[in-house]
Amino acid sequence: MASILALALLYILAAKLGLSLALAVKQITTVWPPSGLALAALVIYGYRMWPGVFLGALAANLLTNEPATVATGIAIGNTLEAVIGAILVLRIVDMRKELSRLKDVIGLTVLVALISTMIAATIGTTSLALGHLLAWSGQPKAWLLWWFGDMGGDLLFAPFLMVWFVGWRKLTWLNWRELIVLLISTVAVTAVIFFGRLGYLGNHPPVPYLTLPFLIWAALRLKQVGVTAVSLAISIIAILGTVAGQGPFAGSGTIEQQLTFLLPYIILIAVSGLCMGATVMEREEYALELTHQSEELKIARDRIKKELSATAERAQRLEKSHQHILHILDDLLEVPWKR
C-alpha cells in the first residue's frame, strides 16, 4: 500500500512538471512525464501498481479544478494506457528493463509509444469534450497533441527510469567521470543550439542534429545508461528553448505549432539513441557468448585430447599384454615338443 501511495505522489509531482508546459488546453502538455513514470513502475514492480497510477492521475486532474467525471475519465485512460502498454511489451517481446536488445526498443516504440498512447489520447480528449472543456471540432488536434505528449513521455522518461533502476550499480568510478563530462558537453552544446544565436549558420533545422555525436558517444561508451541521460538532457533543453521563443524550432507560427515541429525531433533523438545503445549491447552480448562458447570448445578439445591420449596408452598396454600372452602360449606349446 505504501508503494502505491508513493507512486501516486510521484505521479502528481510529474504531472505538475508536465502541466507547466501545457498548450492551449491546460490538460494537454508537450511531453507528459507521468506516462513514462507509470509504464516504468508497472514494468519494474508489476501490474499490482496500477492503483497508484489511477490515484495519481485522478488527483493530478482534480487539482486542475476539473469536474470529477472528467478527471475520472482521464485517469481511467491514463491507467489503461500504462497497464496495456506494460502487458504488450512484457507478453509479446518479453522486454528487459535494461533495454539491451533491439527488439526491446522496437517493442517500446511501437507497442507502447505508438499504440498504447492512443488509448489515453482517445479517452482523455473525449472526456474533455463531454465535459465541455474542449470543443468537439478541436478534438482531432487535441488528440494529436495528447498522443505526441504521451509518446514523448514513454520514450524519454520510461527508458531513463527502467535503465537507471538496474544500470547505475554497474557504473565504475571511471564511468561516472566520463558520464559527467559527457553530460556537461551535451548540455553546453544543446544550450548554444537552443538558446544561442546561430544566425551565421542560417539557424536551419539541421543545426539541432549537432547533438547526435553525443548520442553516439553515449551509446558506444556508456550504452543505455548514457543514452537515456543524454536524450533526456537534450529534450528538456530543446523544449525550454522553444517555449522561450528561441532555437531552430522557434519563429513563425504559434507555440503549439513550434512544439509540434519539435516533438518529432525529440522522438527521433530518443529512439535513435536507444537503438544505437541496444545494438552495442547486443554486439557485446554476442561477443561474450562467442567467447564463452570458444572457451567451452577449447575445454572440450583438451578433454578429447586427454581421452585420446589415454585411449592410446590403453591400446599400447593391451598390445603389450597381447604380445605377452602370445609369448606365454608359445612357451606352453613348445614344452611337449622339446620333451
Using DSSP's 3-state secondary structure scheme, residue 186 falls into helix
Calculate the CA 293 to chain-centre distance: 29
CATH annotation of 1-168? 1.10.1760
User: Hey, where are the domains in the chain?
Assistant: 1-168, 171-339
Virtual torsion, Cα 271, 272, 278, 280, nearest 10 deg: -170
Q: Which residues of the chain have pLDDT under 50?
A: 24-25, 199-200, 202-203, 338-339
Distance CA 241, CA 265 (A): 14
Q: What is the pLDDT of residue 200?
A: 47
Q: What is the pLDDT of residue 26?
A: 53
Distance CA 84, CA 74 (A): 15
- Name the residue among 3, 94, 87 with its Cα closest to residue 47: 87
DSSP string, 138-152: GHHHHHHHHHHHHHH
Assigned C-alpha cell, 316: 599400447
Residue-wise pLDDT tens digits, 81-96? 999 999 999 999 999 9
C-alpha dihedral sign at 134, 137, 138, 140: positive
Whether 123 and 74 have beta carbons less than 8 Å apart is answered as: yes
As beta bridge partners, residue 22 has 29
Q: What is the pLDDT of residue 23?
A: 54
Whether 9 and 56 have beta carbons less than 8 Å apart is answered as: yes
Q: What is the pLDDT of residue 339?
A: 45
Backbone angles phi, psi at 132, to 5 degrees: 65, 25
Distance CA 152, CA 264 (A): 9
Measured at the alpha carbon of residue 328, what is the angle toward residues 325 and 334, in degrees to the nearest 5? 140
For the CA atoms of the chain, what is the radius of gyration? 31
DSSP string, 303-335: HHHHHHHHHHHHHHHHHHHHHHHHHHHHHHHHH
Whether 228 and 164 have beta carbons less than 8 Å apart is answered as: yes
**pTM metric for this prediction:** 0.81
Residue-wise pLDDT tens digits, 205-232? 567 888 999 999 999 999 999 999 999 9
Share above pLDDT 70 across residues of the chain, in percent, rounded to a whole number: 92
